[in-house]
Amino acid sequence: MRKLMLFWLIAFVFLVISKSFSQPAANPDPLRFEKEINSFVQYDKKNSFPSEAVLFVGSSSIRMWRTHDDFPEYPVINRGFGGAHISDVLYYYNEVIKKYNPAIIVFYAGDNDIAAGKSVKQVFNDYQALIKKILNDFTNVKFIYIPIKPSVSRWKFWDKMHEVNQLIKKYNEKHKKLYYADLATPLLNAEGKPDENLFIEDGLHLNQNGYARWKKELQPLLKELWLNLRPRKKDR
């Protein structure tokens, strides 16, 4: 009898532990960005923005990127907001994506998600939810995913981050409008670890050299997609 009770007790404890691990991590409160998103809205009320633009959107790695300077040949809009999860981009989707009717979207997020304890599955599910919204609203859009970068300060999360990247890479390969620009590998040194010379003091965000590396790697794909848009744009 005691053995049977012990068995059921162990089984119950195992079930509780399993459920706790399978529960998705709570999304952070998106309202923490209310002021920043409102600044985008107010800016757009006072200024015109290009139609069929190249929209850079995502977390701080996008916000800190001087995209207008690095890609002056394109009508660029930057709507990065620091600390964002993919769930935050979903929450503010209308304000940072839908209103702009972009021709090309360059997206970076997921970094903060994994660091905050979200599972690979949860991040990938959020990504798929975002893609479905975008493709439903924009039938001709081209979407470029920048993989989660290997960084000095978050190197301990790299295995999970790399797993997310590989899932998204395979997912994008199945859809002709989705692209995967490998801007992660160029940030690694000869030992296969993040090159400290490409990051600012926090070991998380890129410095000028890091962004120069990103620009060099992204430019060929961006140019190819933009040139392929030209016939469609001229026919309108």
152 in helix, strand or coil?
coil
Distance in angstroms (rounded) separating the CA atoms of residues 200 and 81:
18
DSSP 3-state percent helix, strand, coil across the chain (nearest 5): 55, 10, 30
The domain ranges of the chain are 48-234
Token pair 């493709």 in the structure block, residue: 135
Tens of each residue's pLDDT in the chain, 236 residues:
554 444 454 444 343 334 334 578 999 999 999 999 999 999 999 999 998 999 999 999 999 999 999 999 999 999 999 999 999 999 999 999 999 999 999 999 999 999 999 999 999 999 999 999 999 999 999 999 999 999 999 999 999 999 999 999 999 999 999 999 999 999 999 999 999 999 999 999 999 999 999 999 999 999 999 999 855 443 33
Residue 90 near residue 129, CB atoms below 8 Å: yes
Predicted TM-score (pTM) of the model is: 0.88
133 in helix, strand or coil?
helix
Just give the CATH number of 48-234. Answer: 3.40.50.1110
In this structure, which amino acid lies at residue 73? Answer: E
